[in-house]
Amino acid sequence: MKKTKTASGVRLKLALGLLVALNWSCDSEKNEPSPVVPFGTSGVLVLNSGNFSDNNGTITYYPSTGSPFSYDFFNRVNQRSLTGSVQGYTESDGKGIILVDNTTGGQDKVEIVDANTFKSLATLKSPDIENPRSAVRVGANKVYVSCWDVSGDFSNGTFYKDPGYVAVVDLTTNKVTKKIPAVKGVETLLLVGTEVFAGSSGDATRLTVIDTATDQVKTGIEVGANPNPVAFDANGKLWVLSGHELVRINPQSKTVENRLTIGTDKSRSLSHFVLSADKQSIYFISSFYDAADNYREKGELHRFALTDTSIPATTPFISKLFSGLAVDPQSGILYGGFTPSYKQAGYVFRYQPNGTLIDSVKAEIAPTGFFFK
C-alpha cells in the first residue's frame, strides 16, 4: 500500500489535423459514456488515477477520428474494472502495459493488453509486482517496470519498508523474468540509448544506471535528494529533478554539467516535467497551498528554454493547477489534466504551444497522464 503519486506522462505520435476534429467542450454533456468504439491506431489515452482509497482508476479513450469517446475503456472491453489507481501506461511490440496500484497489500498488478484491441492478455501480480511506478520499453518484447516493493507501514521508521526493484517483463511469455535490485522508492525510468536511468523518491541521492543488455546496475550518478530523470533533450543531455534544482547531466560521461535552481519559494511542490515537441523547452507545474484562501491548493504551469541560465518561475505560462501534463510530440499541443475533486469527473484542457486555450473535454476522476497513439 502506498500514497498516490502522479505519474509522469508518456508520449507518442498523434495527428493534429484529425484531433482538431474533436468537438471538445467542458460544459457540454453530450460526451457521455458510449458503447465501445473501435480501438484505432491513433488517439489519446487519458490515464485517470482515480481516488486512491476507492481503487477506481480508469482509462479514457478519445479516438482521433472524433466522437464517440469511450470512458472506462478497459472495463468496456474486458467487462471488469482495473480495481486500483492507474499509475502509468506504455506500449511495446503490439502490447499495452497498465500499471495498477491497489490500497490492499498484495493486490497491485500490471495488466498486459493487446495494444490494438485493449483486450486483456495477462495479469502480473504480487509477489512479482508490488507498487508499480513507471514503465519503459527497453528492447523487443522487453519492458522495465519500477516497483517500490512492500511499503506503507513505517515499521522501520520510513514509508519505504523494503528496497525497490526494477521488474524485467518478457512480453513473449508475459512474465517477470528478473528483479533488478534498486534503491528505496525507485521511481521514474528513462531510456537513453542502451541504458535506463532510474530515479527515486525514497531519499536516495544517486541516479541509478541500468545496462539493458545485461539487466544489471552499471553505476550511479551523485545528483542530490530524490533525483528523477525528466527529459532527454535535443542536445543529447539528460535533465534530472532533484529537490528544487534541475540538473543537466552528460549521459555518456555520467557527469553533472549544470544546476539550475527553480524559483525561490522552497515550499512549492514541483511536478509533471515534460519536454516540448522540439525538445528545446521544458514545461512543469508549481503548486502550493494558499494560506490566504483557507489553504486551498493552487498552481501554475511554467516553461523555460534549455538555453536559459536561470529558472525564476515568477511569471506563469498558464495560471492553472493541473493534475497531469503532456505535450503532443507532433503538434506541440499541451494537454493539462484538471481535477476539481477526487469524487467527481475531471477535465482535459488543450492549449496551443503559445499558451492559447483550444478547448476542453470531460474526463474521469483525476486525469494525471496521457499516452498518444
Check if the beta carbon of residue 110 is closer than 8 Å to that of residue 97.
yes
What number of other Cβ atoms are within 10 A of residue 260's Cβ?
A: 16
**Amino acid of residue 182:** A
| Structural domain boundaries in the chain | 16-372
The angle formed by the CA atoms of residues 344, 349 and 353, to the nearest 5 degrees, is: 160
Digitized pLDDT (tens) for each residue of the chain, 373 residues in all? 433 343 333 333 333 333 333 344 443 333 444 444 456 568 899 999 999 899 999 999 988 766 667 899 999 999 999 999 999 999 999 999 999 999 998 999 999 999 989 999 999 999 999 999 999 999 999 999 999 998 766 666 677 777 899 999 999 999 999 999 999 999 999 999 999 999 999 889 999 999 999 999 999 999 999 999 999 999 999 999 999 999 999 999 999 999 999 999 999 999 999 999 999 999 999 999 999 999 999 999 999 999 999 999 999 999 999 999 999 998 999 999 999 999 999 999 999 999 999 999 999 999 999 999 8
**Model pLDDT, residue 42:** 81
| CA 343 – CA 316 distance, rounded (Å) | 28
**Model pLDDT, residue 29:** 37
What is the pTM for the complete model shown?
Answer: 0.89
* Interstrand relation of 281-290 and 109-114 (parallel, antiparallel or unpaired): unpaired
* Interstrand relation of 216-222 and 85-92 (parallel, antiparallel or unpaired): unpaired
The angle formed by the CA atoms of residues 22, 135 and 97, to the nearest 5 degrees, is: 60
Which three cell numbers, joined as nine digits, stand for 350? 488543450
User: What is the Cα gyration radius of the chain?
Assistant: 19
The angle formed by the CA atoms of residues 68, 77 and 345, to the nearest 5 degrees, is: 55
The angle formed by the CA atoms of residues 287, 303 and 338, to the nearest 5 degrees, is: 45
Q: In 38-53, which positions are buried (b, 16+ CB within 10 angstroms) versus exposed (e)?
A: ebeeebbbbbbbbbbe
The H-or-E segment that residue 75 falls in is helix 73-78
| CA 332 – CA 327 distance, rounded (Å) | 6
List the one residue out of 231, 220, 213, 141 whose CA is nearest residue 186.
220
What number of other Cβ atoms are within 10 A of residue 117's Cβ?
A: 14
| CA 140 – CA 93 distance, rounded (Å) | 7
Which three cell numbers, joined as nine digits, stand for 349? 484542457
What is the CATH number that goes with domain 16-372?
A: 2.130.10.10
* Interstrand relation of 58-63 and 43-48 (parallel, antiparallel or unpaired): antiparallel
**Model pLDDT, residue 107:** 95
Neighbour order of strands in the sheet with 175-181: 132-139, 142-147, 165-170, 175-181
**Model pLDDT, residue 17:** 34
Give residues with Cβ within 8 angstroms of 302, minimum separation 6: 283, 284, 285, 286, 311, 313, 316, 317
DSSP class per residue in 201-234: SSS--EEEEEETTTTEEEEEEE--SS-EEEEE-T
Backbone angles phi, psi at 371, to 5 degrees: -135, 125
Check if the beta carbon of residue 116 is closer than 8 Å to that of residue 39.
yes
